[in-house]
């Protein structure tokens, strides 16, 4: 029977005892759970990665405007901005995360990894990582499996849905998956991979889920951008052997505890936070009017 992915500690123990890389038990778990061959799993991973890359391309080249008006080709604006705040690579990273997420908000095809709300984070991270470090597709697939293993443990011990644990569980988990994948793909040790996950969780703890008008657009899209930035920063910190101090399993526990104590208005109900601001309520009213199609836009 494959590893159950109860916690990071047992994942590490399993890999050391069997002298296998981090992705291997995830691969075995997938084979056992899905009843697929190893070749089928790799093909599935490759297809998923292709969908992620296509979403980036779509978001950067096609019209991305949503019915609510809150999504208005943001990725292209960031990608083409003449003012570069940090570096061209950082600008591309951010715009790619936004691009893939805008495709989701405009009802396009994405990979919900781990959720649709956070669907720009892994594409932005992996595409940019592959480009920057000239990594093979097979290495990126291994990184994707490591990311999946991280998600399995977070889901088991805290949750990966905004309705369960707030946005920390969605964009925070996606960023943690991405940070772990970065460190793995760049040759980090198991401890460094898990340290990157721990640091990412520490940076996203407490983030509430407050989508304006109940649509997965604002603040979701910009949180995908901040998610990739946090993931890369955490990976850099972990690869430099700066310690998270609080072990990764305890960070996940903290995420679960915070998620449980969060009020319902911060869990995808669109009743608190940004959704409850004056502007947020106006947009919600406009969306409602559009939906029932009885009043013109000018009422707002």
Choose between 161 and 182: whose C-beta lies nearer to ligand SF4.
161
Choose between 130 and 202: whose C-beta lies nearer to ligand SF4.
202
Choose between 27 and 231: whose C-beta lies nearer to ligand SF4.
231
Choose between 193 and 287: whose C-beta lies nearer to ligand SF4.
287
- Alpha carbon distance 292, 294 (integer Å): 6
- Alpha carbon distance 108, 102 (integer Å): 8
Least separation, in Å, of the C-beta of 171 and ligand SF4? Answer: 5
Alpha helix segments (H runs only) across the chain: 8-18, 23-34, 38-61, 74-79, 88-105, 121-133, 137-157, 162-165, 167, 173-185, 190-204, 220-239, 248-261, 278-292
Contact 166, 193 (CB under 8 A): no
- Alpha carbon distance 245, 243 (integer Å): 5
Least separation, in Å, of the C-beta of 27 and ligand SF4? Answer: 28
Least separation, in Å, of the C-beta of 105 and ligand SF4? Answer: 10
Least separation, in Å, of the C-beta of 118 and ligand SF4? Answer: 6
120-152: b or e for each residue (b if 16 or more CB lie within 10 Å)? bbbbbbbbbbbeeeebeeebbbbbbbbbbbbbb
Respond yes or no on whether the N-terminal peptide bond of residue 219 is cis (omega within 30° of 0).
yes
CA pseudo-torsion sign 140, 142, 148, 150: negative
Binding residues for ligand SF4, rule: CB under 6 A, are 117-118, 162, 167, 170-171, 209-211, 216, 219-220, 223, 268
Least separation, in Å, of the C-beta of 219 and ligand SF4? Answer: 6
Question: What token pair was written down for 47?
Answer: 């297809």
Choose between 76 and 223: whose C-beta lies nearer to ligand SF4.
223
Question: What token pair was written down for 145?
Answer: 């499996």
Choose between 246 and 254: whose C-beta lies nearer to ligand SF4.
254
Least separation, in Å, of the C-beta of 62 and ligand SF4? Answer: 22
Choose between 123 and 211: whose C-beta lies nearer to ligand SF4.
211
- Alpha carbon distance 79, 77 (integer Å): 6
Least separation, in Å, of the C-beta of 120 and ligand SF4? Answer: 10
């Amino acid at each position: 029977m494959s590893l159950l992915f109860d916690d990071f500690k047992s994942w590490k123990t399993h890999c050391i005892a069997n002298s296998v890389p981090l992705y291997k038990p995830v691969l075995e778990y997938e084979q056992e759970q899905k009843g697929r061959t190893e070749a089928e799993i790799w093909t599935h991973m490759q297809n998923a990665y292709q969908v992620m890359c296509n979403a980036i391309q779509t978001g950067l080249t096609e019209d991305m405007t949503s019915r609510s008006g809150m999504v208005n080709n943001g990725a292209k604006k960031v990608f083409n901005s003449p003012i570069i705040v940090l570096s061209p690579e950082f600008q591309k990273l951010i715009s790619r995360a936004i691009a893939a997420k805008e495709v989701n908000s405009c009802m396009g095809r994405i990979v919900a990894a781990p959720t649709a709300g956070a669907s720009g984070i892994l594409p932005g991270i992996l595409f940019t990582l592959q480009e920057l470090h000239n990594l093979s597709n097979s290495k990126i697939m291994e990184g994707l499996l490591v990311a999946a293993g991280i998600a399995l443990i977070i889901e088991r011990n805290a949750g990966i849905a905004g309705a369960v644990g707030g946005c920390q569980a969605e964009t925070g988990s996606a960023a943690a998956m991405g940070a772990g994948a970065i460190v793995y793909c760049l040759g980090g040790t198991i401890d460094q991979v898990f340290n990157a996950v721990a640091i990412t969780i520490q940076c996203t703890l407490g983030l509430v889920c407050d989508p304006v008008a109940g649509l997965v657009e604002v603040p979701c899209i910009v949180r995908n951008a901040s998610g990739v930035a946090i993931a890369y920063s955490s990976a850099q910190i972990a690869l430099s052997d700066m310690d998270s101090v609080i072990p990764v399993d305890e960070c996940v526990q903290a995420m679960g505890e915070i998620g449980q104590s969060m009020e319902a208005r911060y869990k995808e109900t669109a009743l608190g936070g940004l959704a409850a601001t004056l502007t947020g309520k106006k947009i919600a009213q406009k969306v409602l009017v559009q939906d029932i199609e009885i009043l013109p836009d000018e009422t707002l």
